[in-house]
Structures are given as structure tokens and as C-alpha cells.
Amino acid sequence: MEAQLAEDAENFSRSLNSVAERFRIIGKIGEGTFSTVYKAEDLHYHLFDNSWDLDRTPAKRRAESNAEPQTAKKLKKSQEGNERRRKLVAIKRIYVTSSPQRILNELVLLHTLSQCKAIAPLITAFRDQDQVVAVLPYCKHSDFRSFYRELHISEWKYYLKSIFTALEHVHENGILHRDVKPTNFLYDISKRRGVLVDFGLAECEALESEHCACRKHGDSLRQFVDRQPTGGYLKNDNRPGRRANRAGTRGFRAPEVLLKCLNQTTKIDTWSVGVIMLSFLAKRFPFFNSADDIDAMIEIATIFGKPKMAAGAKLHGATFDSTIPTIPDVPFQFEDIAVWAITGGAEDSDLTASLRQTYTTDENYTQAFDLLRCCLEIDFRKRISAAEALEHPFLVDV
Amino acid sequence: MSSAISRQNYPPCFGATIRMTADSLAPSRRVHSHSSLKDAAITATASISPSSGSHSIAISSSRVQTAEHDTAEADDDEDMEDDDGADDERRDRLELSYNDAHVRRQTASVSPSRHSVASMQLHTQSLASAAQSRSMSRVSSSSHGRSAAYVNTASISGFNAKARERTGSQLHDRTAAVARVVLAREQRQQQALREQQAQEHAAAEAETIRQWQRQWKRVLSTSTFYFDGIEDPTKDRAKRQLMGFGSTIETFFHGDVSHVITNRPLAATYPATDIISQAKQRTMKLWTYDKLLRFLSHLQETPSASVHNAGNRPAVVASEASNNLTRMLREEKITGPADSDPRARREDFHYFKGPYFLIRDATGQYRPIMVREYQKVADPALGDWPQFRLSGPGKCPFVMDASVYKNNGEATQPRRTTNSGSRHKRTVTTEMESASTSKGTSKARKLAEDDEAAVAEPDGGDESHKIKVRREVTRNTQLAAFKEPHARKKSALTPIRMTSVRANSGGTKNIEYRVDKNALAATGRSYTARMSAVLGHEMVATGINMSNQTSGIRSMTQSGGPNNGLASAVSHAQSKEVNSLKRKVFEKKKKPVAIPQASIKRDLVSVKEVKPGYCENCKDRFDDYDEHTKSKRHRKFASNDDNFREVDELLMKIVQPLRSEVSFI
């Protein structure tokens, strides 16, 4: 594996001359939907304007501004006193099978959003024929799995604050990230700061509202007397299928995405953050796990129950019908789910009792569960927005 | 200067900036409405028309391809890693590529042409100057006059110098403006594509109406009508119309009458000699007079071929009538003839036998959004569908996690408490809970133990668990085919047997497996078995996250068709193409590992992984990414700089400035 990584990195370096000159590839961080990301060292850091770098200390900044144009060597010498950390970057190598439009889309979005602290800024980018490479800062972060159960609620508040801040900015620009999940939010516990990455699936909000029942506030359904038989399906159904953008990761997709609403809004990202919150509170990750959209819908239905699902479906011009016995008629309370999940179903333990006690009396928790409910709201119109979430009692003082 | 630019100074709301300035612009330059953008383009340059001409051609060609990929609709998501998967998540590229095909092809079909770039430049200028006028109030700048020149700057360094004179925020404004334009264009393309599809759909429906009319006219020419006591003054006109179609009107009832028109209630019982009873007995058509009138009006209308006709044309009434007819015909296709008994069994309809999940499009225009049926089980906890399951800390609560499978009667799903604000009686929920209480689960476990034939013994000393397996087919068809297996904790070299029930054969099939506990736990035990049922051949898991494979394959089978609705245990691939595709995907993904005794551990696999997918530029699928990118066809695209014109323009703006060029204040 090691050899393979090294070879891959070397091939990459060779293919893109500009990259090889300036960056030393250290290794592969991961493979995304549309790109591969490498960790690298920026060897020419000192030659460039680095206003993107949040870690620059004031001393360094002063040093940079006072100095005359110098070669890298001289600068390094003058900074001998300071701890000289190598500058790490993430190099995103976009798959050449992506169309120029898609490449343009991502680069433009990244660049538009660059000025937000909670979004990984685009440092620079290169093209060599069909290979486009974007350079972003390497964000030191901790693996979500390693801390989501350990952090106290007063700590993981910062996580939410940070991610909502990022999303607020994204949404202000009329952009949907579409793929919000822990692996796309690189959080540094020590700095209490995270960075939203991977805009490969992001897209702008629809300029004109699309035709979905939700746009007409669900009233238009009155004109359709639903005389379709239920309890089965047509064997030879020649009707077309509903089509809408379904990008994203299944466990984090909002109900309207699963229902193929044509009119998806920035609220789909808020739902995803709600799912992350659920992981924090129930101490389970991933909370949802489904092989396809239908399973994902059933999982959601298992929590919300038939009436809410039916209402949610109706909002988007769909009917909901199920005889699955584990889909309840009454929704589960998230507190109950959390208790069950944390105690492993042990009903009579002391832990159970104390958890219930905490959830009803500790302000942190009551506020947290309330915010959770606001995020995991099936009706996107009622769902809280990123900006509103920052004003929610749970986060407002953070 | 750059160091003094703090992020707070940047106009916080880009969207607002553009929208507000757009409002203040003359209407012809607004970005938002479709047509006015075009107007702006026309005033700015005449070159947009050729590109939009080619635009629509490109769209129709992309449509052909879209239809082809109908069943291969996939998404570019990924499945979550199981606990031990330390690496970052990988997405199934094949899935991704199909999603590209589905979602993005509209945009890919219109390649960046000179026309569009030119128009974009001009648009950007108009937007940029608008944006500038706003940002000028915040940041002083002397370079307003140079906005027109920026895209045409010859040298990069010269450009950079000019760029640096302006503030960073203005640069962002312009780039953001570019973003809006490009993305707006994509949106319009998608919109146009949808509209075109709608148009075609409407045209198809119009044709259906015409067909219906033709068929009925033919029938009418040989029909005989009897009017049973209709007093309505319009009946003479109705009769005349019918005769105009060739029907005969009988003044006396007799056995060869084909249609009886009556206003008497049909549900009432009549003596056997009564006309209505006779008509029923002889299976004559029994219509109310209203129905006849409606029928006649439908026959005489001209179907409209356009989607947006209602209310826009002079012949509103006629259009509405034919719209109604369209809808009625459509509904009839689905619900059956309106005068038929809705409770009667229909041949063309599959009725669910087990628990099902059904989300339909309420308008009836589209096929069901989600359809799935599961096998009936006595104990819901054994059901194959996603539900809360006993699971360990940190694990997904919907996946059975055997490592905590104790015998203490833990609740397999959350218990409700009234404390938490639930206002409903507990009796409602206890019904559900009893299904999954300890009683239920221990009973199920007992059954498993009874049926157990061979169980791998746990190793002494370490914490491994058995994989319980059922050798025989469930005797009682009510029980689920699969028991939750207890996974062996060690990785994977132990052979295990698993049975699967094939719906068609009804027999058992033993499949040799090597599974990794984590993979099993992560995917849910039924997936592997399901996949083997679907694929019909041996499936080897290699300890690599299997959910990737299953998702890739399953999502392809999940488009709205009826066959996808069934759980895999009773389902089979619906089309040959999809089936072969699935096999292809499966084989391609794990190329060297199709052999059972291939190395299980990941680091032993030294063969290069083959990466199939779809190339948006060549608009073609490929089996190997590396090979395809070296191919002549792709290289031809790649080496043509024109294809990347817009990308280059953007790159010019975002290239990182050298330190020396930044002026410090």
C-alpha cells in the first residue's frame, strides 16, 4: 500500500510540472467523488502572498510586511528564532473525466466562498491540459469518530457553532453544499475551529422556483383526486420517473432530497447538521446507514412515524403508505432514542435514570434537543436555517 | 494592503449584493429572468443565437442518452465506513458516473463555445460594474474604468498587477458574478431540458387522446344505443351526435343493444325483467346520461399539444376539456376504467403480499417514487427492512451488532416515556414493542438454535463470536430467511455457510463465504445474502467494505420501476442490461479477487485497482480510468485549450499572487 501511494504521488507530480516544482507530495489523504486529495508541503510558501493562512502569527505578518522582496533563503534565516513549521497544503487533483463546467463550478464556488474563516480557501490552482489541480490549506483535524463520544456537550457546541457559521456563509451566497457530513468538516478540537471542505457536489440555488407541490404550498394537491389504487403497483408502468438532483451521502440526505423534490433549498444542509447532532447526542455513528434511498426513507420513517411522513410526502406531491410494522404511528422522542442508544437498551439501569434526569433538567441538553428538533424537521419550510441556528439558545452564547 | 483586509470587511452578503444591484439595473439587464438575460445578450452581442441554436440540438441528443440510462440512475454518495475502516471513505465511481450522466449531462452537452464565452464576458462586465458600484461605497478604488479591459489583458503578470491594485473584495465580486452567470446558465439548460421533456410528454399525451378518439369512433359506428327514460331536453342533440358517428338509436330495448343510457340509480336492485337487470346480465354498457355527455364532448375536442395552453389561448374551454381528457386517460391507465369496480382484482396490478413501503407521485404523472415489498414475518424484529436493532456503543442503531447480543432482554428499540413529552398513550406503542421485546427475540433465537446444523466454535481465549447460520430453508415460510448472524471478530479466513432462499426455485442454496465481521455488521447481514441471490453467483467478500459494492449495485436497480420494489430476497434483476451491468461492475471492482482463495487482507492485493466510470468530456463509459485518460479520443479533448477557456479565465483570477506584488500598507 505504501509503495502504491508513493508511486501514485510520484506519477502525479511528474504529470503536472508546476506542482512538482513547488510542492512535495507527502501522501494521499483520500479519494473523493470527483477528485483525489494529496497532502503536500508548500516549498515556495515564502514567495507568495499568504493572507489565506489563518495560522500566521502577527509577528510573522509583520516580518513579511516589513521585509523587502527576498529570496526564500533569506527569509528563512530571519525567522530562525521562530518555530519553522513546514507549510502543509492539500492538493486536490480533479479527475480529468470531469467536464470543464463541473470543474469551473467547483473552483468558482470555492473561490467565491474563500473569505469565510470556516471554509477552506482556495490558495491557487493550475491546469495542464485536462488536469486541473486546486491547492487548499491542509487542515489539521481530528477524526470525528475519535472524539464524538468523548467530547462534553459544552465542547461539541463549538463544533456546531463552527459548522453553522460556515454554512451560513455558504447559504448567504445562494449555494447548497449538498454533502455536509463529518468527513467534510475538518474540525480541530484544540482550536475549536473547523473547516468545511469538498464542494464537489455543491450547486447554486435554483434561480426560478421549480415545479414541485411544495412551491404551491401543498394546496394544489386538492385538484388531484388521488384515485390511484394502492396496496400494490402497476406491473408495466410506462410513466416516467421523477427526476431531481440526489447528490449527497445517504445517511445525511434530507427527506425532500429522497422524495426527489425539484425545489431543494439550502435547508437540506441544515438537515445534515441535524444528523451530525444526533450522533453527538446518541453517541452513535453513523446514525443512519442505508444501502439506497428507500432504506434511508424507512429509517427516517422509523423515527418520525407515519403521520409525519405522510404530511411530509404530501408537501412534495407524494403519498406515503406503508404496512411495515416497525414504522410507528407516533414519532419517537429524540431523548428516548438517545437514552436507548447510549444505554444499549438497558431499561432499568442507573445510567438510564440519570440520563433521563439530565435531559430534562440540564439546560445544555434541553436546548440541544430543541435545536436538534429544529434541524431534523421534515418540513423544510419549518426547518431552522444556519443563520437562525446561530441565534438559537444552545449556540447563541458560544 | 492584503494584510489589512480582514474578512469582516468583505461585503457579507454576496447574494444580496448581486441581487440588489440587479434590481437597480435596467430591466433588460436583470439576471434572474430567463428572457431578459437573453435580451441583454442580444443587445450586447448578436452571437448568442447560434449558440442557443446548437444548445437545443445538443439537448435533444443528450436526451437520447438519458433514456438509455434510465435504469442505471445512481447517485454519487457513498456508504459510511464500518468502525475499523480507518481510511477515508471511498465513493463508488461507477455510481458517480451514472449520476453524472443523469444530472450533469445537460450541461456537458453544451461545450464552451466562443459565443458563450463572449456573452459571458459581457455579462460579467455588466454585473461587475454593478457589483463594483456597490462595493465602491465600502472600499475606495480608482480602477472602475478598467473593468472593461480585465478579461482582455494580454499578460498574466500585467493582469495580476492590475488585479492587485483593486481590492480583494472586488475581485471576489467579479468572480462571484462569473459564478452566478455560469451556474445560471446551467440552471437554464436544465430548465430548458425539463420543459422540452414536458412538451414531448404533452405531445405524447395528445397523441394518446387522438388514438382514444379514433378507437371510440370505430366502436360507435357499430354500436346501438337505448335511452332508458331520459327526459333531458338535450337528448335529441346527443342522439344526433351519436348517429353522426354511425351509431344506431333504438326506440325499443332488445338484446342486441350495446349501450343503455339511464338516469336511474344503478346500485338499486331491480326485478329480473327490468331493463337494467337485463343490461347487466347481458353485459351491456350501462352509462348515466351525464357520462354520455362527457364522453361526447371528449370525442369532439381537439387535443392540445402544448403543456402551457390552459388559460393562454382563446379556445380555453376546448383546451381545458382536452386537458381533462388527458388527465382522465392517464388516470384510467392507472386506475382502470372509471366505471369498473375499483375493488375488483386487476390483472395488470401486483398486489402486495407482505409488508410494503410505497411512496407514489400524487399527480399520477410519474411512476411511484419508492416501492418496496418485504417478506412476511411473524416477528417484526426479524424483518428484513431497516429498523432499530440491538447494537453496541458507537455503532449504527439500524444495524444488528452481534457483539452486544445479550440475553438480558434489552429493548431492541427505544422505549417511550411520557416524561419526554409524548402525549400519546403507551398502549399504542406497547403493541409495537411487544413484537421486539425479549420474549420475541429469545424465541427467535431459540428457533435459530434449534435449526442450527453447523456452527463454527468460538476460539477459546479471545472474544470472537460465532456466525450462526441456518442450513436449512425456513420450514415455516413466515419466518425470515436470514437470522442475524453473530460475526466472527477475527478477520476473515473462516469459511462459513449461508443459505439463501431463492424466490423462484424455492430451494436452498449453500454459498461459501468468507466474511469479515465488520463488513457484516456494517452492511447488515442480509445484504451479502441478498446480493448473492440477485447476482446468482458466488460472492466473495474480501474484508473490504462490502457496502460499497452493494450500494453501487443496488442503487442502480432502484429506479422507479415496479420490479425494484421487492426486497432482494424475492427480487430479481429486471433487465438483462442491468443484470449484466451489475455483474460487470462487480467483477470490475474486484478484479483480481474473484477467486475464493484470493488474499483476504487488503495489503496483499498488489494488483492495480481498475477504476471504471464515465467521462463527461468524451461522453462515454470506460472500464479503466487510467487507460481512458491516455486514449486518443480523450487526449484530443484534453489538448484542445478551447475546451478550457472559461476555466483558464477563472484560473487567471485566482492564481496566488506573489508576495512581492502585494502592496503592503
Give A46's contacts in chain B (Cβ within 8 Å).
659
A81 contact B CB<8A: no
- Measure B302 CA to nearest chain A CA, in Å: 23
Do B193 and B264 have their domain in common? Answer: no
The closest CB to that of B179, out of A108, A172, A201, belongs to A108
Cα–Cα distance for residue pair B606/B89, rounded to 1 Å: 20
Nearest chain B residue to A136 by CA distance is B656
Task: Judge: A328–B429 Cβ closer than 8 Å, yes or no.
Answer: yes
Pick the residue with more confidence: A383 or A42? A383
Cα–Cα distance for residue pair B200/B373, rounded to 1 Å: 33
**A386 confidence band (pLDDT: 50, 70, 90):** very high
pLDDT at B172: 52
Provide φ and ψ at A333, rounded to 5°. Answer: -80, 145
**B595 confidence band (pLDDT: 50, 70, 90):** very low
pLDDT at A5: 63
pLDDT at B205: 79
When scoring A35, A43, A99, A309 by the number of chain B Cβ atoms within 10 A, the one with the most, hence best to mutate, is A99
> Which three cell numbers, joined as nine digits, stand for B476?
415455516
pLDDT digits (tens, 9 = 90+) for B289-311: 888 888 888 888 776 544 444 43
Sequence letter at residue B241: Q
pLDDT at B411: 77
Angle between helices B14-24 and B114-135 (to 10 degrees): 100
Task: Judge: B395–A284 Cβ closer than 8 Å, yes or no.
Answer: yes
Whether B622 is in a domain gets the answer: no
Q: Whole-prediction pTM value?
A: 0.57
Sequence letter at residue B551: S
- Given the candidates 3.60.21.10, 3.30.200.20, 3.40.50.300, 3.40.50.720, the CATH classification of the domain at A2-47+87-137 is 3.30.200.20
- Residues B26-53 have a mean pLDDT of 36
Give A124's contacts in chain B (Cβ within 8 Å).
654-656
Do B181 and B232 have their domain in common? Answer: no
Burial class of residue A30 (count of CB atoms within 10 Å of its CB; 0-12, 13-18, 19+) = middle
Closest by Cα among B484, B479, B477 to B498: B484
Confidence check: pLDDT of B564 > 60: no
Task: Judge: A248–B659 Cβ closer than 8 Å, yes or no.
Answer: no
Pick the residue with more confidence: B494 or A311? A311
- Could you tell me what percent of chain B has a pLDDT over 70? 36
pLDDT digits (tens, 9 = 90+) for A66-107: 544 444 454 445 444 333 467 889 999 998 888 898 899 889
- Give the Å distances, CA to CA, from B221 to B144, B246, B501: 78, 4, 55
When scoring B30, B420, B601, B618 by the number of chain A Cβ atoms within 10 A, the one with the most, hence best to mutate, is B420
Q: What is the 3-state secondary structure (H, E, C) of B418-472?
A: HHHCCCCCHHHHHHHHHHCCHHHHHHHHHHHHHHCCCCCCCCCCCCCCCCCCCCC
b/e burial code for range B21-52 (CB count within 10 A of at least 16 → b): bbeebeebbbbeeeebbbebbeebeebbeebb
How many structural domains does chain B have? 3
Whether B52 is in a domain gets the answer: yes
Pick the residue with more confidence: A121 or B316? A121
Locate cell 435504469: which residue? B71
Task: Judge: B13–A172 Cβ closer than 8 Å, yes or no.
Answer: yes
- Rounded to a whole number of angstroms, the CA Rg of chain A reads 24
pLDDT digits (tens, 9 = 90+) for B222-233: 899 999 888 888
pLDDT digits (tens, 9 = 90+) for A110-139: 888 887 878 888 888 988 888 999 999 898
Q: Which domain holds residue B500?
A: 380-598
**Which of the residue ranges B63-72, B75-84, B198-207, B527-536 has the most confident prediction, judged by mean pLDDT?**
B198-207
Pick the residue with more confidence: B202 or B46? B202
Confidence check: pLDDT of A63 > 80: no
pLDDT at B386: 93
pLDDT digits (tens, 9 = 90+) for A277-329: 999 999 999 999 988 999 999 999 999 999 999 999 999 989 999 999 999 99
When scoring B358, B371, B442, B604 by the number of chain A Cβ atoms within 10 A, the one with the most, hence best to mutate, is B358
**What is the residue-averaged pLDDT of chain B?**
57
Nearest chain A residue to B403 by CA distance is A344
The closest CB to that of A172, out of B15, B550, B608, belongs to B15
pLDDT at B131: 41
| Selected residues 17-76 of chain A with any CB under 8 Å from a CB in chain B | 29-34, 46-51, 61, 64-65, 69
Angle between helices B289-300 and B168-220 (to 10 degrees): 120
Whether B362 is in a domain gets the answer: no
> Which three cell numbers, joined as nine digits, stand for A195?
473547516
- Residues B26-38 have a mean pLDDT of 37
* 8 Å CB contact between B646 and A100: yes
The closest CB to that of B419, out of A251, A337, A356, belongs to A356
Do B237 and B193 have their domain in common? Answer: no
Confidence check: pLDDT of A186 > 70: yes
- Measure A194 CA to nearest chain B CA, in Å: 16
**B585 confidence band (pLDDT: 50, 70, 90):** very low
Cα–Cα distance for residue pair A273/B318, rounded to 1 Å: 51
Q: What is the 3-state secondary structure (H, E, C) of chain A?
A: CHHHHHHHHHHHHHHCHHHHHHEEEEEEEEECCCEEEEEEEECCHHHECCCCCCCCCHHHHHHHHHCCCCCHHHHHHHCCCCCCCCCEEEEEEECCCCCHHHHHHHHHHHHHCCCCCCECCCCEEEEECCEEEEEEECCCCCCHHHHCCCCCHHHHHHHHHHHHHHHHHHHHCCEECCCCCHHHEEEECCCCEEEECCCCCCEECCCCCCCCHHHHCCHHHHHCCCCCCCCEEECCCCCCCCCCCCCCCHHHCCHHHHCCCCCCCCHHHHHHHHHHHHHHHHCECCCCCCCCHHHHHHHHHHHHHHHHHHHHHHHCCEEEEECCCCCCCCCCCHHHHHHHHHHCCCCCCHHHHHHHHHHHHCHHHHHHHHHHHHHCCCCCCCCCCHHHHHHCHHHHCC
Name the helix (H) or strand (E) containing B286.
Answer: strand B285-288
pLDDT at B489: 34
* 8 Å CB contact between B619 and B126: no
**A57 confidence band (pLDDT: 50, 70, 90):** low
Closest by Cα among A100, A229, A27, A327 to B109: A100
User: How many Cβ pairs closer than 8 A exist between chain A and B?
Assistant: 461
Task: Judge: B558–A292 Cβ closer than 8 Å, yes or no.
Answer: yes
ipTM value for the complex: 0.85
Do B177 and B241 have their domain in common? Answer: no
* β-strand partners of B248: B224
pLDDT at B459: 35
pLDDT at B297: 86
- Give the 3-state secondary structure of residue B262: strand
Task: Judge: B562–A260 Cβ closer than 8 Å, yes or no.
Answer: no
Locate cell 451556474: which residue? B183
Whether B307 is in a domain gets the answer: yes
DSSP A221: G
* 8 Å CB contact between B68 and B546: no
Pick from B539, B569, B598: which residue ends a domain? B598
pLDDT at B204: 82
Strand B285-288 versus strand B349-351 pairing type: unpaired
DSSP-assigned letters across all residues of B22-41? HHHS-GGG-SSSHHHHHHHH
Whether B76 is in a domain gets the answer: yes
Do B183 and B205 have their domain in common? Answer: no
Do B82 and B227 have their domain in common? Answer: no
pLDDT at A17: 67
Pick from B163, B197, B231: which residue ends a domain? B197
- Residues B450-472 have a mean pLDDT of 33
**B333 confidence band (pLDDT: 50, 70, 90):** low
A323 contact B CB<8A: yes
Pick the residue with more confidence: A10 or B190? B190
pLDDT at B653: 83
The closest CB to that of B416, out of A297, A333, A360, belongs to A333
A259 contact B CB<8A: yes
Q: What is the 3-state secondary structure (H, E, C) of B506-557?
A: CCEEEEEEECCHHHHHHHCHHHHHHHHHHHCCCCCCCCCCCHHHHHHHHHHH
Confidence check: pLDDT of B76 > 70: no
Residues of A known to be catalytic: 179
The residue extents of the domains of chain A are: 2-47+87-137, 144-232+243-396
- Residues A333-354 have a mean pLDDT of 89
Confidence check: pLDDT of B81 > 80: no
Give B643's contacts in chain A (Cβ within 8 Å).
100
Closest by Cα among B509, B508, B541 to B527: B541
- Residues B323-352 have a mean pLDDT of 71
- Measure A357 CA to nearest chain B CA, in Å: 10
**A271 confidence band (pLDDT: 50, 70, 90):** very high
Whether B410 is in a domain gets the answer: yes
Give B73's contacts in chain A (Cβ within 8 Å).
241, 243
The closest CB to that of B362, out of A145, A221, A294, belongs to A221
- Residues B436-443 have a mean pLDDT of 39
The closest CB to that of A332, out of B13, B351, B414, belongs to B414
**Same CATH fold assignment for domains A2-47+87-137 and A144-232+243-396:** no
- Residues B335-359 have a mean pLDDT of 77
Do B475 and B513 have their domain in common? Answer: yes
Nearest chain B residue to A150 by CA distance is B394
Q: Does domain A144-232+243-396 have CATH number 1.10.510.10?
A: yes
When scoring A105, A306, A324, A333 by the number of chain B Cβ atoms within 10 A, the one with the most, hence best to mutate, is A324
- Measure A26 CA to nearest chain B CA, in Å: 16
Give A208's contacts in chain B (Cβ within 8 Å).
32-34, 187, 191
- Give the Å distances, CA to CA, from B42 to B114, B187, B226: 15, 20, 64
pLDDT at A172: 92
Which contacts (CB < 8 Å, 24+ apart) does range B338-343 have?
Answer: B339/B286, B339/B287, B339/B291, B342/A227, B342/A229
Provide φ and ψ at B68, rounded to 5°. Answer: -60, -35
- Give the Å distances, CA to CA, from A13 to A21, A27, A290, B422, B580: 9, 11, 38, 60, 38
Locate cell 487510467: which residue? B626
Nearest chain B residue to A322 by CA distance is B357
- Measure A98 CA to nearest chain B CA, in Å: 6
Do B459 and B387 have their domain in common? Answer: yes
Pick from B335, B367, B392: which residue ends a domain? B335
Residues listed for chain A: 398
> Which three cell numbers, joined as nine digits, stand for A143?
477524526
Do B587 and B473 have their domain in common? Answer: yes
Pick the residue with more confidence: A246 or B141? A246
Return the C-alpha torsion angle A251, A255, A257, A263, nearest 10: -150
A342 contact B CB<8A: yes
- Residues A184-205 have a mean pLDDT of 90
Task: Judge: A233–B358 Cβ closer than 8 Å, yes or no.
Answer: yes
User: Which range (A140-144, B52-56, B399-403) has the least confidence?
Assistant: B52-56
A142 contact B CB<8A: no
Cα–Cα distance for residue pair B564/B559, rounded to 1 Å: 7
* β-strand partners of A383: none
**B406 confidence band (pLDDT: 50, 70, 90):** low
Sequence letter at residue B377: V
Do B154 and B218 have their domain in common? Answer: no
- Measure B224 CA to nearest chain A CA, in Å: 31
- Measure B12 CA to nearest chain A CA, in Å: 8
Task: Judge: A283–B182 Cβ closer than 8 Å, yes or no.
Answer: no
Q: How many Cβ atoms sit within 10 Å of the Cβ of residue B655?
A: 17
pLDDT at B143: 37
pLDDT digits (tens, 9 = 90+) for B363-392: 888 899 999 999 999 998 888 899 999 888
**What is the residue-averaged pLDDT of chain A?**
85
* 8 Å CB contact between B495 and B514: yes
Return the C-alpha torsion angle B70, B75, B80, B84, nearest 10: 70
pLDDT at A29: 82
* 8 Å CB contact between A304 and A258: no
User: Which range (A211-225, A344-358, B135-149, B407-421) has the least confidence?
Assistant: B135-149
| Selected residues 173-192 of chain A with any CB under 8 Å from a CB in chain B | 173-174, 183
A166 contact B CB<8A: no
Do B182 and B207 have their domain in common? Answer: no
When scoring B351, B389, B396 by the number of chain A Cβ atoms within 10 A, the one with the most, hence best to mutate, is B396
Confidence check: pLDDT of B415 > 70: yes
Do B247 and B392 have their domain in common? Answer: no
> Given CA atoms B164, B170, B171, B174 in this order, what sign does their dihedral have?
negative
Give A50's contacts in chain B (Cβ within 8 Å).
659
The closest CB to that of B394, out of A31, A32, A283, belongs to A283
**Which of the residue ranges A12-21, A218-227, B82-91 has the most confident prediction, judged by mean pLDDT?**
A12-21
Closest by Cα among B443, B441, B439 to B390: B441
> Given CA atoms B569, B575, B580, B586 in this order, what sign does their dihedral have?
negative
b/e burial code for range B549-567 (CB count within 10 A of at least 16 → b): bbbbbbbbbbbbbbbbbbb
